[in-house]
Amino acid sequence: MSLQEVIAVAGTAVAFLALAGVVVRRRMGVCWTFVPYLGVVVVTDLLVLLWPEHFYRQWFWFGSQLVINILRFAVALELTYRTFRAFPSARATARGVLLVVLLITLVIVFGGTGNLEPPEGAPALGPLISRVQPRVVNGAIWLLSAIAGLILWYRLPVHPLHKAILVGYVPYLLIFAVSLNLIESQGWDIRTQVNYLHTSAFVAVLAYWAVAAWRRAEVPARAPEPEPSLEQASG
């Protein structure tokens, strides 16, 4: 078994573990779109592992990434809705900020990709993978960062699974974007090494989500516990 296959098997197993954790701990309702997201990851990984001759193809990778991109944005928007719905002031700001980030993402994806003809030695879908996909991924990073920034600014309470999704996703997507940029700048010859980099990062983030999904629910913190910050602030 090659290293690439070992990473792929580990990724599928951990993604399945995370999905099982969400289902067994009855956390589907915490973020509905996260369930199909993990489901698509598990199914596409399994298809490639079981029938590589049919599914270890660029069209399949690009198609699955398209679905994953859509689900990723859906997860981000659902997180926003669930976190901000009870806070009208923060919600109004979030609406404006997210609209701006989505518009910027659309502009850089559709306006700045240039010629999509594959250069010498690159596969037919090469420019879409190495030029368009990183822009979409960067847009997702900014979107998730904007949500996280607003949560921090307004000091909003977040569900542990939502926090795990945000905190896990941003660094992984960054590594993914850097990997695709490396392919674009250094050429397709380095794609095997680059694949090791971002698939290992994805396995790590899936493991983090699996831990978060399986973690038992904490008893909600109650007021009579240690002094809250407003009381402490008065000395």
Binding site for another protein (CB under 8 A): 30, 85-90, 108, 134-135, 138, 141-142, 144-145, 148-149, 152-160, 163, 166-167, 170-171, 173-174, 177-178, 181, 184-185, 220-223, 225-226, 228-235
Centroid of chain to Cα 100: 20
Q: Which is nearer to another protein, 88 or 121 (CB)?
A: 88
> In angstroms, how far apart are the furthest CA atoms of the chain?
69
Q: How far is the CB of 186 from another protein (least distance, A)?
A: 13
Q: How far is the CB of 31 from another protein (least distance, A)?
A: 11
Question: Which run of H or E residues covers position 112?
Answer: none
Q: Which is nearer to another protein, 71 or 146 (CB)?
A: 146
Task: Give the phi and the psi of residue 98 in degrees, each rounded to 5.
Answer: -65, -35
Number of alpha helices (DSSP H) and beta strands (DSSP E) in the chain = 10, 0
Q: How far is the CB of 233 from another protein (least distance, A)?
A: 4
Instruction: Report the chain's C-alpha Rg in angstroms.
Output: 20
In three-state secondary structure terms, 79 is helix
Q: Which is nearer to another protein, 23 or 92 (CB)?
A: 92
Q: Which is nearer to another protein, 121 or 220 (CB)?
A: 220
Q: How far is the CB of 16 from another protein (least distance, A)?
A: 25
Beta carbons of 49 and 12 less than 8 angstroms apart:
yes
Q: How far is the CB of 183 from another protein (least distance, A)?
A: 12
Q: What share of the chain is helix, strand, coil (3-state, %, to 5)?
A: 80, 0, 20
Q: How far is the CB of 13 from another protein (least distance, A)?
A: 26
CA distance 92 to 84: 9
Residues sharing a CB contact under 8 Å with residue 57, sequence separation 6 or more, in sequence order: none
Q: Which is nearer to another protein, 2 or 229 (CB)?
A: 229
Q: Which is nearer to another protein, 189 or 225 (CB)?
A: 225
